[in-house]
């Protein structure tokens, strides 16, 4: 029995080491991919405002610096994102929030690009819905590309999702200190954002 227990313990230890190595390898691959995206975006100037001047509503937007850009899946809007937006608005935090910032008939891509490039920080509401969409992935890639060592602009909020699910989606994102709606109230999150804006 002792021998069997030792064998089991050794096997579990080997599995833990293998898992750590795989996670480290995933992080390395992800960082390499993000570096390539940053370089590509820098060379192509994906996020830029001069090209948007043709839209008469863009000059006004280009002069505004939002405190936060709220990246989220539409399925989370009613339960969490809308109340968060209202809580931020109530304490004077300006937000690029698609429902309020993109007018009827406006170009979603152009408005989002401009909103991203003119926001100090990006709130990323990570949920199962967020992880399943390409659009939210594009927004997250843009936020990573804009993030520098001097300016840590990504503020993750985990919403109805486990740590393992976040790791499976993005090891680099899982490595960032996050707030969790299972633990933190909307008011607490809004006040913390107000403290770092």
CB neighbour list of residue 170: distance below 8 Å, 6 or more residues apart: 30, 140
* Burial (Cβ within 10 Å: 0-12, 13-18, ≥19) of residue 107: middle
Active-site hit among 139, 150, 187, 188: 139
Contact 182, 80 (CB under 8 A): no
Instruction: Tell me the C-alpha distance between 120 and 192, whole Å.
Output: 15
Specify whether 139 is catalytic. yes
By the 10 Å C-beta count (0-12 exposed, 13-18 middle, 19+ buried), 155 is classed as buried
Residues labelled as active-site residues: 139
């Amino acid at each position: 029995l002792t021998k069997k227990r030792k064998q089991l313990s050794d096997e579990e230890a080997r599995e833990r080491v293998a898992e750590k190595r795989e996670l480290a390898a995933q992080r390395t691959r992800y960082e390499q991919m993000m570096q390539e995206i940053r370089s590509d975006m820098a060379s192509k100037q994906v996020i830029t405002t001069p090209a948007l001047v043709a839209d008469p509503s863009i000059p006004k937007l280009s002069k505004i610096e939002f405190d936060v850009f709220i990246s989220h899946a539409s399925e989370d809007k009613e339960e969490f994102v809308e109340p968060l937006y209202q809580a931020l608005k109530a304490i004077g935090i300006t937000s690029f929030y698609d429902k309020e910032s993109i007018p009827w008939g406006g170009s979603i891509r152009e408005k989002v690009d401009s909103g991203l490039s003119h926001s100090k920080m990006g709130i990323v509401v990570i949920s199962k819905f967020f992880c399943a969409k390409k659009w939210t992935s594009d927004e997250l890639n843009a936020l990573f590309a804009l993030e520098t060592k001097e300016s840590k602009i990504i503020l993750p909020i985990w919403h109805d999702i486990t740590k393992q699910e976040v790791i499976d989606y993005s090891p680099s994102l899982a490595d960032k200190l996050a707030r969790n709606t299972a633990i933190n109230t909307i008011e607490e999150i809004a006040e913390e954002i107000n403290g770092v804006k």
